[in-house]
Structure 1
Amino acid sequence: MNGHVLRTAARADAGAMLELLRSVSIEGDTLPFRDQVDGHFIDSQWLGAAGCVLAYQNGFLLGMYRYGPNMPGRGSHIATATFIVAKAFRGRGLGRILVQDCLEQVRLSGFRAMQFNQVVATNRAALSLYRSMGFMKVGTIPDAFAHPQDGYVAAYVMYVDLCRPG
């Protein structure tokens, strides 16, 4: 994936972020969001996150991620994140670039690990990517996700230790 620029999100990006988030949410097979995807959601969950990074190319938003603590207080040393890649740009390595950048930002921010609370079992591309980057499946939640074609499917809790060398 050449020619893209990664940069921190700004308030002026909210419209493009909302459009991308809505388009992926409507697909219905990776994100749990439905009608609650609005400007307030972008402000609170994305722009209000510890970190929010966008991938642009020629003025077009290709993908984005957000990260922050998975839990407050005594659980705040473990990060969580959400990644979104526009449909037209999937399968080109952008997801890997976003995850690598996120893991580096999370390490620099002092988090000790990263946990994904719900990776849909049918999202094979994401599962393959996360495993290749050291994430382990540490739990299964049966029927956790209402998939539009497959009905209720499992979701996985995935984890990577950021303090372990290698």
Structure 2
Amino acid sequence: MSGRVPDPRIRPATDEDWPRIWPFFDATVQEGETYAFPLDLTAETGRGWWMERPPGETVVLEDDGRILGSAKMGPNRPGHGDHVGTASFMVAPEARGRGVGRALGEHAVAWHRGRGYRGIQFNAVVETNTAAVALWRSLGFEVVGTVPGAFRSPAHGYVGLHVMHLPLA
């Protein structure tokens, strides 16, 4: 990923972007297959779950005036754990399968690398989210463990949550 030109469609999210993120954020949460967020979030409480503040950052991928996806990233843990980052990603349903997740994933890796993080840890990748697992593996992440039955999927029942890691140092 080094030497890649940054994707010009990705930029820091602003508070004014939230009304355009909320519809696909809410749709993703309501699908119930990829995030363990509460189902009763409102636009205002959802904002608190997604819009990062420093030292983290939330970004959007915007194309032709439409926000197609968003990612948030920052330290995985505070204090003695702040040298390892984490990130979360959401892609608008109509933009899935079009490389939006990959572009956001590559951006997140470069963002963490550029800030001197020693690695990236994804704490909870649903094992039945095969597209995400394949994408993260293609970017160099490895499954370092799976918590059996830790996620309740509406479609698959109790399934595992992968912890995935990418070393950066």
* Fold similarity call, TM over 0.5: yes
Conserved? CA contact 1:14–1:42, under 8 Å: yes
1:63 maps onto 2:63 in alignment: no
Gaps of 5+ in 1: none
Cα distance per residue 1:70-106 (max 9 Å; x no partner): 1110011000100111111111111111100111011
| Aligned-CA RMSD value | 1.7
Conserved? CA contact 1:14–1:43, under 8 Å: no
The normalised TM-score by structure 1 is 0.90
Q: 1:113 aligns with which of 116, 119, 128?
A: 119
**Partner in structure 2 of residue 159 of structure 1:** 165
1:126 maps onto 2:132 in alignment: yes
**Partner in structure 2 of residue 78 of structure 1:** 84
Instruction: Give the ranges of 4+ consecutive aligned residues of structure 1 lying more than 3 Å apart after TM superposition.
Output: none
**Secondary structure, in 3 states, of the residue corresponding to 2:146?**
strand
**Partner in structure 1 of residue 144 of structure 2:** 138
Query: How big is the shift at 1:13?
Result: 0.8
Aligned counterparts of 1:22 and 1:4: Cα–Cα separation in 2: 26
**Partner in structure 2 of residue 15 of structure 1:** 19
1:48 maps onto 2:60 in alignment: no
Conserved? CA contact 2:52–2:73, under 8 Å: no
Conserved? CA contact 2:50–2:58, under 8 Å: no
Q: Relative to 1, partners in 2 of residues 1:94 and 1:103: Cα closer, same or farther, differing over 3 Å?
A: same
Conserved? CA contact 1:18–1:39, under 8 Å: no
Q: How many residues align?
A: 161
Query: How big is the shift at 1:158?
Result: 0.2
Query: How big is the shift at 1:108?
Result: 1.1
Cα distance per residue 1:6-64 (max 9 Å; x no partner): 11001111111222210111111111112235323314642425111101122211001
**Secondary structure, in 3 states, of the residue corresponding to 2:51?**
helix
Aligned counterparts of 2:82 and 2:167: Cα–Cα separation in 1: 14
Gaps of 5+ in 2: 1-6
**Partner in structure 2 of residue 28 of structure 1:** 32
**Partner in structure 2 of residue 38 of structure 1:** 43
**Secondary structure, in 3 states, of the residue corresponding to 1:105?**
helix
Q: What letter matches 2:53 in structure 1?
A: G
